[in-house]
Amino acid sequence: MLPTTAGLLTMRASRAAAPVAGFAPSKLVPPWLPGQHFVAALVFYALGAIGLVVAAPDLSHGYFFLPRVIALVHLFTLGWIVTSIFGALCQFLPVAVGSSIRFPRLVHLSFASLTLGVATFVVALLASNRSLLLFGAFSLSLSFTVFAVNLAATLIPVRERSLTWWALAGAAVFLLATPAYGVVLAFDLHDGGLADRFGTIGQHAHIALIGFVLMVVVGVAHRLLPMFLLSHGASERAAWAALALLFGSAALLTVPWGGRSRIAVAGALGSAGVVALLVQVATFFKHRQRKAIDPGMSLAASGVLGLGLAVVLAPFALSRGVADLRLLTTYFVVVLGALTLFVAGHYYKIIPFLVWNHRYGPLLGKRKVPRVSELFSERVAFLDAALLASGLAGLSLGILLESEVLARVAAIVFAAGAWLQVIVIARVALRKVA
């Protein structure tokens, strides 16, 4: 993903003294800055996979709002997806907007408070401990606020404001809004007082997913998919439409007034935004020069298709709400599963290039070095992609059919894929120069 471009820039810079595309190699971020995020994210990913096997029977009956299930959801959303995004943006910003993260030291603060917040929040939910729950919520809020401010400080001085710039700027806005609802829900979990707790949970979840995660996906995919697929000449109008629609949806969800009509319009805009994103991704794949699709892009494509399925389920699941908890649970599993596959696919692009650039890049031209594709087995990676995608598909079907057996078996298949990926990525990261 991000290190691909960084690696290419370093390679080219070693052959020519002038900076490439206005970006000097000295501006590349140290590998440990994103690396610490990736390590933590993979740990949460592995733990979440185990938790999914344990919670599969609860999910099959639609017990989505049990504290232990909510803990599992946050392991994936905050521990896996958000931590991965924070790390990826640290590496991606120099390539995307021509400027490194403004305050690198603050990244350590946002990282520490994020990982501490996730761990504390999950433990607090499992132990029903109010004090730990509030501490975790405030720690997460600190992390989101610090990273959002750091991201905004990075973007503001940039003069060339591309689609990626606007997508990341919008994501920074909603990164601030997300924890506000989270803190309210943390207080309400023990104290009560919310007139519509389930509706507030839905708003909180969709502000995070639409306003932050999907906005980042639009901005990142706009720059990276054409590079990975060697796609040239594809129209970008669908990406601009996706950006505008998703921003409008998240903005409507954030304001606390307007009633059901506001939620309905926000839902329609969000669904249309996802459809526009699907059209843009399909356009990139259609115009690709690289016909063979590698494991990473296969997983990413599976994730995008999962988002399409989520759009189909959304009006039925969200309109029925708690009246049909199994359908609502299926919807959220599909959404989070799709994003999980998208992120997992990019790990097969990020880590190998980051390791290659750090360990083998300086040796280029001095001795024979392996290709990036030789740092891991493509056959094993395709097996991993099959396990992850089929596991999530089986889990969704098991919940829809209320089958404990199918849900548990599918969760085991997914967990096998998650742990296999963690092992593959760990072996790549620990690879020594021969």
- Asked whether 403 and 325 are in contact (CB, 8 A), the reply is no
Query: What letters, b where the CB count within 10 A reaches 16 and e where it falls short, cover 382-404?
Result: ebbbbbbbebbbbbbebbbeebe
195-210: string of b/e by CB count within 10 Å (b at 16+)?
eebeebbbbbbbbbbb
When the pLDDT of each residue in the chain is averaged and rounded to a whole number, the result is 87
List, as one string, the DSSP characters of 188-208.
Answer: HHHH---TTHHHHHHHHHHII
Q: Residue 2 above 60 pLDDT?
A: no
pLDDT of residue 23: 30
Sign of torsion, CA 208 214 217 219? Answer: negative
Measure Cα distances from 159 to 77, 162, 164, 204 in Å. 32, 9, 13, 32
Residue 199: which pLDDT band, with cuts at 50, 70 and 90? low
Mark out the alpha helices in 255-403 (DSSP H runs): 259-286, 295-320, 325-355, 378-400
Two tokens at 352?
A: 């190998």
What are the pLDDT digits (tens) for 147-189?
999 999 999 999 989 999 999 999 999 998 887 766 666 665 5
pLDDT: which is higher, 50 or 255: 50
Q: How many CB atoms lie within 10 A of CB 8?
A: 16
Q: What digits encode the pLDDT tens for the residues 109-149?
A: 999 999 999 999 999 999 999 899 889 989 999 999 999 99
Closest CA to 242 of 262, 205, 282, 269: 269
Token duo for residue 59: 């999910």
* Model pTM above 0.75: yes
Give residue-wise pLDDT tens across range 350-390: 899 888 888 888 888 888 888 888 899 999 999 999 999 99
Residue 65's pLDDT is 84
What's the rounded Cα separation, in Å, for the pair 286 and 136? 44
Contact of 296 with 349, CB cutoff 8 Å: yes
The per-residue pLDDT for 184 is: 64
How confident is residue 19, by pLDDT bands cut at 50, 70 and 90? very low
pLDDT, position 6: 39
- Both tokens of residue 224? 């990276």
Strand partners, 23: 20
**What is the pLDDT averaged over residues 323-337?**
94
Closest CA to 318 of 299, 304, 302, 334: 334
Dist. CA 150–CA 172, nearest whole Å: 9
The 8-class DSSP code of residue 292 comes to S
d(CA 327, CA 424): 34
User: Is 70 exceeded by the pLDDT of residue 36?
Assistant: yes
**pLDDT, mean of residues 85-99:** 89
CA distance 225 to 294: 12
User: Residue 222: what pLDDT?
Assistant: 86
Q: Averaged over 183-212, what is the pLDDT?
A: 70
Give the residue, 306 or 433, on which the prediction is more confident: 306
